[in-house]
Chains A and B, each alone.
Chain A
Amino acid sequence: AQSVSQHNHHVILSEAASLELGCNYSYGGTVNLFWYVQYPGQHLQLLLKYFSGDPLVKGIKGFEAEFIKSKFSFNLRKPSVQWSDTAEYFCALPRGTASKLTFGTGTRLQVTL
């Protein structure tokens, strides 16, 4: 069975600090991965996606993620966070080519001024 785990449930950072949120997956098939973000009061938005090819993926708003197959990981990074990055971040694994997403439990990021 496929699964996604996010071990950081709540992260508090000061503005300008670097960010790394962990995501580990378990899936025996071809792996594709997404990171979604949910800002307070807003709907889920796609931050970035990995389909194949270059394991370092760049997304919107300065976010990037690295797919490391040997570690079953797809960690999200940002070199310098801003107060506006305060949100909940979800790692998600689509099942094959279907539209069924398995989500991690989410990481709540709080950025302080």
Chain B
Amino acid sequence: KAGVTQTPRYLIKTRGQQVTLSCSPISGHRSVSWYQQTPGQGLQFLFEYFSETQRNKGNFPGRFSGRQFSNSRSEMNVSTLELGDSALYLCASSSWGSGGAVIHEQYFGPGTRLTVT
């Protein structure tokens, strides 16, 4: 089974621009979560999508948004980029909601490293 894939792997943007990151989950997984990883704040939850609906949201400003498509692929968008948005953005998928075990582990992609200059 192919793992979680994220594109692009690296991005350099200028402050004020916007960016869209893409995530393709493991086949059959309908839950996709996004995390931001920085040296200072560690791993922080951004949001989770399930069946095209945002189910959970972390404490990030409205500049961070996402969506999920009918094939479970997900995108996240950051508008009006700030220097502090430089981070590794991780996508994770899980089989939550597909029946079976109560807790479903998350499988992480390699991440997109965003640098804002």
Contact = CB atoms under 8 A, between A and B. Distances in A.
A binds B: yes
B64 interface: no
Contact of B94 (A32, A90, A99, A104): A99
B48 A43 contact: no
A99 B31 contact: yes
Interface string B92-112: 101010000111111111110
Contact of B43 (A43, A95, A103): A103
Contact of B105 (A34, A97, A102): A34
Contact of A100 (B45, B90, B107): B45
Interface residues of B, number: 29
Give the 4 A-B residue pairs with the shortest CB-CB distance, closest first. Answer: A103-B43, A44-B108, A43-B110, A100-B56
A101 interface: yes
Interface residues of A, number: 23
Contacts of B107: 46
B96 A106 contact: no
A105 interface: yes
A98 interface: yes
Interface string A20-51: 00000000000010101000001111100101
Contacts of A101: 33, 35, 43, 45, 92, 106
A99 B106 contact: yes
B42 A99 contact: no
Contacts of B56: 95, 98-100
Contact of A46 (B58, B101, B105): B105
B42 A106 contact: yes
